[in-house]
Amino acid sequence: MRDGNTWVVGRRSAVCLAAAGLSAAVLAGAVRAQEDAEVPKVHGVAMHGEPKYGPDFEHLDYADPAAPKGGDVKRAVVGSFDSLNPYILEGMYAEELEDHFYESLTTSTSDEPFSEYGLLAESIQMPEDRTWVAYTLRPEARWHDGTPVTPDDVVFSYQTLTSKGHPFYKDYYADITEAIKVDERTVRFNFKPDTTNRELPLIAGQMPMFQKAYWEGKAFETPSLDVPISSGPYKIDRIDPGNSLVMVRDPDYWGKDLPINVGRFNFDSIQYDYYRDSDVALEAFKAGEYDWRQENSSKSWATGYAFPALDEGLVTKEEIPYGATNGMQGWVFNTRRPFFKDRKVREALGHAFDFEWTNKNITYDAYTRSESYFSNSELASSGLPEGAELALLEPFRASAPAEVFEQPFKAPSTGGTEDGLRANLAKAVALLEEAGWTVRDNKLVNADGEPMKFEILLDNAGFERSTGPFIDNLKKLGVDASMRTIDPSQYEKLVEDFDFDMIVHLWGQSLSPGNEQRNYWTCESAETPGSANYAGICDPAVDALVEAVITAESREDLVTATRALDRLLLWGHYAVPQWYNRVYRVAYWNVVRRPEKTPDLYLDFDAWYANLDEAQAIRDAQAKLEFVAPTEEGAEAPPAAEATAEPTAGEAEGDAGAAAGPSEGEGGGFGGTTLGIAAVVLVGLVYLFMRSRRGQ
């Protein structure tokens, strides 16, 4: 009834309304259940086409089902940690917790661009229009305390991750409207009605799962070294904050016999030792302090591995082909800084980098020049745009750089000669003059007399070797450029807040780019602290092409949209391109072995196993060695996640994806420092971009 301007609902009416509401909810649930039942349940899904592995596959092609279980392995990380939660903005998390300790509904492989197979989920339901996705949990899926993983845990994980997790996740899952419990084993994610985000059904499955009973009432967003209850193949055994972390294989792991896991997760224990310096870490490796090392430094690879154990056959040093995209590594302009807002200025400064001289004199001719944000893949643009790609770009002809339509992108080259460098610097001077900059008293100044002065911020002294000559050439233009190397924890905070002029960074990419591109290039991410839009890119054309990538309905459409996006990024001159590598450089003590077959795309260390027959003799030899830390500053070192040291591919072993690519910055020894640190910045991203999509 109504009292004046106010409706008053009596008790009887309230009961009737409640009953009506309940009936409507029950009816809606019944309709949804019927709708779900009409969609077939499958073991796996692919972004485009069908998954490589059928419903009856027994193991991954590159995993050895006869691989022995047992043995121990020690690995190294450059950096530190003060948290066991990789999914929040604050803190520095410990390496390799994803996949080993935490799990998700689905998982990917290292020999496919982008497919997801059930892990915690027994089956997946995805309608043809991809407007929702449902997962039926495996009845045997268990947390480490023996309790089952339930739909309530899944709903809690979604709500917690998007409200309290790293800002990346809120954006990554922005098109999911809700997660609902359908029945005692099934959970469904509903999507925005107007979304055309076709990878949502796949990336929803990448979401890490958290036990509601443990986390409810706890401060998820606060860094902590308390060991939570999780569900992965390993448990956390010992922690020495900032120094080491030991995980032990759970003999009762619920998923050990799943086909996706057969022949994987073979070591009884994995120990991660943390080093503050990559050169110290290399010497520790040679002294037998740890067993497996991925080398990021061309100098170290060429000159640093002459030691007796290698000659005696106790250590293997090899290059393993890398088949996925390497992304883009370079010196990144923070266009939030006034000096870097002008595209011509950015283009001009790029002419001061002499790649040919650097590659010959510093990096041992180890690298190929980066000329794409999707290097080493079919996604890279080339030639001039035509056909469908040109049609995508045409609406932006008036606002995009003219070169996008008229000129194939080619990074400035000196040909390795002094004359070539002089010609490049002359071109730079001309561009700077067009932008209003002139040289007065050997200083480059603008119309107001302000000198161009900026700092290149580094988190690893190893990058000084390649940054120093770049700065020398900038000074020839009258630029007051300098570099500063700081502690990784300081670096992380400054980068998260975009409080820098220029950094070295690798935007790792997968072979199936998608939602993570919003985190890299869009106007929204440019204003979001902690995003990977370090350059501060805000261009409606870029935003539109990012959406074209995300909404591509076929592989052909995806390649076309990605190439168009690549062109806009390249001609925006948001970074000075450096280089990339086509192989993983790996050295390991022969206490470990790798499977005979290597994955087509990424390196999956989880398929390696212990050399049980020879391990003890090698351990005895290691015990006789003495570790003496080097006193001088070392060679090269890796940048931040998303950037690796020299030029690499996946910063990410990983959409949030792929297995970590060959780390390349002129830097340290494995994607560690920034990889571990910027991984906090990126891959939340990277969990999801180069991690979740390990197969991307």
In a domain, 78, yes or no: yes
In a domain, 83, yes or no: yes
Mean pLDDT of all residues belonging to the chain: 87
Task: Give the predicted TM-score (pTM) of the model.
Answer: 0.80
* pLDDT at residue 24 tops 90: no
CA distance 77 to 223: 19
In a domain, 112, yes or no: yes
Which pLDDT band holds residue 631 (cuts at 50, 70, 90)?
Answer: low
Residue located via tokens 């020495």:
240
**pLDDT, average across residues 517-533:** 96
In a domain, 501, yes or no: no
Q: What is the pLDDT of residues 527-557, one digit of tens each?
A: 999 999 999 999 999 999 999 999 999 999 9
User: Is the Cβ–Cβ distance between 692 and 654 less than 8 Å?
Assistant: yes
**pLDDT, average across residues 594-602:** 92
Q: What is the pLDDT of residues 399-454, one digit of tens each?
A: 999 999 999 999 999 999 999 999 999 999 999 999 999 999 999 999 999 999 99
* pLDDT at residue 639 tops 70: no
In a domain, 60, yes or no: yes
**How many Å is the Cα radius of gyration of the chain?**
26
**Among 45, 685, 641, 539, residue whose Cα is nearest residue 547:** 539
Report helix, strand or coil for 456.
strand
In a domain, 120, yes or no: yes
CA distance 209 to 186: 14
**Among 122, 235, 129, residue whose Cα is nearest residue 186:** 122
Neighbours of 674 (CB within 10 A): 39
Which pLDDT band holds residue 34 (cuts at 50, 70, 90)?
Answer: low
In a domain, 73, yes or no: yes
CA distance 193 to 233: 37
In a domain, 343, yes or no: no
**Domain count across the chain:** 1
Q: What is the CATH classification number for the domain harbouring 111? A: 3.40.190.10
Which pLDDT band holds residue 242 (cuts at 50, 70, 90)?
Answer: very high
Which pLDDT band holds residue 9 (cuts at 50, 70, 90)?
Answer: very low
Enclosing domain of residue 132: 42-215
pLDDT at 673: 35
Q: What is the pLDDT of residues 47-84, one digit of tens each?
A: 999 999 999 999 999 999 999 999 999 999 988 999 99
Q: Which residues pair with 238 in a beta bridge?
A: 246
Is 223 buried (19+), middle (13-18) or exposed (0-12) by CB count in 10 A? middle
Residue % of the chain over a pLDDT of 90? 79
